[in-house]
Each structure stands twice: as C-alpha cells, then as structure tokens.
C-alpha cells in the first residue's frame, strides 16, 4: 500500500496561472478531503468527497475546484492562482467516520 | 460551527521533563471525537491520541495522555519524559460526524497549532 500520495511536493506559480494538485489513495477509502495549512491558522478544510461523483465545500472553498471521478483520485484545481493561495496543501482519506484519517505528505505551493 | 483554540503558539520543555499543551473547543454536540496530531519538520501528519466524548476515562498512549474536561470543553495533551523526537508542531482537532447515503463520515476542525521545542 502506498497510502495517500500527493504530487507535486513543491510548486511555484505565477499569479493567474492554473494548475492541478493530484491526490490518490489505494486503500479504497470513500471519504477524501483537501486542507490548506497556513501559519497561525492550522489546517482548514477546502473541499471533501464521500464517494465518486459526490463532492461538497468545506470552510474555505473559494478559488478551488474539485471532482471525484474514481474512488482513488481527488484532484484539486486552482483555476487562476492568487498570492493568497500560497500555502501547504494536504489531502486526507478515511473509510468512514470511526476510522483514522490518513494524510498525504503535502504540497507546498507558492504563488508569486 | 465548531471552533478549536490552541492558545499557546509555542512551548518548550527540557528533555525528560513533562509538558502540557492546551486546547479548548466550542460545540453544541454531545457526542464527538477529539484528536491530537503531531507534525514534525517532515510535514507528515501523525495521529498521537484520540478521545471519544462519551468516554469519561482519559485516553493514554505510552508517554502521551490527555486531560479531557467535557463540561469545560477542554482537551489538553500531557507529554511525559519528553524526548528530542517529540519536537514538532502539535494540532488539536475536533471531528464532527455527518451522515451521507446512510454512512457516517467525519470532518476535522483543527486548532492553530503549538510548536513544541525540546531542549537537551
């Protein structure tokens, strides 16, 4: 099992560029989520999904899109990057509520 | 909405000593779960300990224990016999469960984090 994988590990974007952060898990987990981590603010939920074709917004969804076409993959899209989206992004997955959430290694994104 | 507050941005402890990290939360729910996560410089999120709100007994995992005060909505983490490897950012988290399609899932709300330094 590779667990939860994220690519890339680091990325630098210019303002206005678009990109997709990839997240994949090989544990057949139904629930997947994206968080961003900013200094002094902890991790905040961006979007989450409870299965293929089902997504919903978290606490800070603006500027981000997600889709879930398969159980394994949950990509996060930035359509027009802004400096305020400079952050560390984590993907996490879990089978259901009573189980532990498994986190990916994170992606450090810098928008200049 | 639930909120989680960690009022100590930084803490330090001498190796082999004991340190307590504070966490308070706000919720109107009666049944929930609380967690402490450790994030070392590698950035990996590591689950340290969990507490179910319906259990009165405080959770313990080796050198890590919690003091769960439900009425006060307080959930502190005690690290005994601190080791250099305990140096990390520690996050308190609250899990709110919701039902979708007949299955229960949980969303995590995190506190701001506490940076723990361990001095040799």
pLDDT one digit per residue (tens) for chain A, 112 residues: 679 999 999 999 999 999 999 999 999 999 999 999 998 889 999 999 999 999 999 999 999 999 999 999 999 999 999 999 999 999 999 987 777 899 999 999 999 9
Determine the residue of chain B that is closest to A4 in CA distance.
B44
SS3 at position B14: strand
Tell if the CB–CB gap between A97 and B4 is shorter than 8 Å.
no
pLDDT digits (tens, 9 = 90+) for B33-59: 999 999 999 999 999 999 999 988 999
Residue B1 CA to its chain's centroid (Å):
19
DSSP single-letter state for residue B15: T
The Cα-based distances of A84 to A16, A73, A107, B40, B91 in angstroms read 12, 25, 15, 25, 23
Kindly tell me the number of DSSP H helices and DSSP E strands found in chain A. 0, 11
CA distance A54 to chain B (A): 10
**How close, in Å, is residue A7 to chain B by CA atoms?**
14
Sheet holding A64-66, edge to edge: A4-7, A19-25, A76-78, A64-66
Q: In A, which residues are within 8 Å of B113 by CB distance? A: 40, 42
């Amino acid at each position: 099992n590779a667990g939860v994988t994220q690519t890339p590990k680091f990325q630098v974007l210019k303002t206005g560029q678009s990109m997709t952060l990839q997240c994949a898990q090989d544990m057949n987990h139904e629930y997947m989520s994206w968080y961003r981590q900013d200094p002094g603010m902890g991790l905040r939920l961006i979007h989450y999904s409870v299965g293929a074709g089902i997504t919903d917004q978290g606490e800070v969804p603006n500027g981000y899109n997600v889709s879930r076409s398969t159980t394994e993959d949950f990509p996060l899209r930035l359509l027009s990057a802004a400096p305020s989206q400079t952050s560390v992004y984590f993907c996490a997955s879990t089978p259901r509520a009573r189980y532990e959430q498994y986190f990916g290694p994170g992606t450090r994104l810098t928008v200049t | 909405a639930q909120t989680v507050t960690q009022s100590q941005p930084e803490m330090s402890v001498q190796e082999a000593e004991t340190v307590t990290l504070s966490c308070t939360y706000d919720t109107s729910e009666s049944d929930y779960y609380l967690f402490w996560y450790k994030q070392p410089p590698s950035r990996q999120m590591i689950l340290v300990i969990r507490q179910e709100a319906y259990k009165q007994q405080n959770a313990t995992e080796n050198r890590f224990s919690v003091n769960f005060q439900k009425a006060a909505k307080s959930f502190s983490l005690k690290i005994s016999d601190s080791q250099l490897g305990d140096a990390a950012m520690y996050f308190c988290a609250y899990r709110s469960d919701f039902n979708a399609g007949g299955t229960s899932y949980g969303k995590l709300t995190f506190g701001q984090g506490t940076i723990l330094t361990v001095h040799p």
